[in-house]
Amino acid sequence: MEAVDLFEILARSTWRTLARAHRRRILFGEDAITSINLNTLASLPKTVVAEDTRVHEVTKGCDFELWIGSDSYGWFRYAIQAKKLRVSSSTYAKLAYAVGGRKQIDLLEQYANANRAAALYCFYNYSQRAHGWACGLSPDPEQLGCSVTPLRVVRSSLIGRGRRNFSWIHNQPETLPWRCLVRCPRLMPGYNMPAHNGWPPPTEYVHKMLPHALRRLRELRTIETLDEDSDLFSPQGGLRPGWVGIIEMNDDRRNKG
């Protein structure tokens, strides 16, 4: 199975799971969805995902980091904050969440800037509300079960009335199905294409090679290998991700469109 296939499966599963949970009045938090999805991604042959349970809320710069690419073409580093839609109102109730008096969005931005990562939000969704579709592939609402958008879109939603909802976020041209991270040529290293509309320039978050700590993680597949992480995380602010994932793409992907 290719990475894009599993990303699509997980998006569809998240959409349907949240629909069932809403109908049956079952609480299903974003942490649980993140754990399930990342653990499932770890089943891919060239993927390593590790949870760092040593990270506490006050030191969490993002929910998870994804390194997507290959040793041949380089790696895109994404710092990602997850948010779940409140299905009953089709709003993101915790979008303005604060930790220790600091806005979570500011912590994410600080972490991403310090570590040369693109700051993204990943939304877990199910909604029957109207929405846009910015992906070049045929519209498929279930693929918005897991969607991603740059931090700037969320910051804009926080300063305007009536913007913290599914329709507004998904009417922005920057908001995409998360499968685009492993499929869209504009969002993967090695294609030398302009950034996707509204996304930061790739030069700001591309890395020629994995840091030593991640190469060790890929080899040994244990979080203890991140103890020596001086080449992975900036000491600025002492922030860390809750999870780290390495998704290695096949170098022949450019021929698949």
How high is the mean pLDDT of the chain? Answer: 92
Calculate mean pLDDT across residues 181-188: 92
In 159-180, which positions are buried (b, 16+ CB within 10 angstroms) versus exposed (e)?
Answer: eeeebbbbebbbebebbbbbbb
Whether 205 has a pLDDT exceeding 60, the answer reads yes
Quick one: pLDDT band at residue 256, thresholds 50, 70, 90? very low
Q: Which two tokens stand for residue 214?
A: 């991640």
Average pLDDT on 201-206 reads: 94
Residue with tokens 């600025």: 236
Q: Does the pTM of the predicted model rise above 0.85? A: yes
Handedness of CA 65, 202, 122, 109 (dihedral sign): positive
Model confidence at 252, in pLDDT bands (50, 70, 90)?
low
Q: What is the pLDDT of residue 255?
A: 43
For residue 213, give the nearest of 34, 37, 48 by alpha carbon.
48
Residue (of 134, 166, 172, 167) closest to 153 by Cα position: 172
What pLDDT, in 10s, does the model give residues 25-57?
988 889 999 999 999 999 999 899 999 878 888
pLDDT recorded at residue 221 = 76
Distances in whole angstroms, Cα of residue 109 to Cα of each of 13, 73, 238 = 29, 26, 14
pLDDT in tens, 112-156: 999 999 999 999 999 999 999 999 999 999 999 999 999 999 999
- Chain segment 162-171, per-residue pLDDT in tens: 999 999 999 9
Q: How far is CA 67 from CA 14, 16, 96, 246, in A?
A: 22, 27, 26, 5
pLDDT per residue over 73-116, tens digit each? 999 999 999 999 999 999 999 999 999 889 999 999 999 999 99
Percent of the chain with pLDDT over 90: 75
Q: How far is it, in rounded angstroms, from Cα 54 to Cα 253?
A: 36
Q: What's the rounded Cα separation, in Å, for the pair 3 and 211? A: 22
Residues in contact with 187: Cβ distance below 8 Å, sequence separation at least 6, in sequence order: 76, 176, 180, 181, 196, 199
Tally of CA atoms within 13 A in the half-sphere of 169 that contains its CB? 32
The DSSP-derived string for 73-130 is TEEEEEEEEEEE-BTTTTB-TTTT-EETTEEHHHHHHHHHHHTT-EEEEEEE----S-
Q: Does position 207 have pLDDT exceeding 50, yes or no?
A: yes
Domains of the chain: which residue ranges? 3-255
| pLDDT at residue 257, as a whole number | 41
What single string gives the DSSP state of each residue in 198-238? TSPPGGGTEESS--HHHHHHHHH--GGGGGS-TTTS-SGGG
How many C-beta atoms lie closer than 10 Å to residue 12's C-beta? 17
Residue 254, pLDDT score:
47
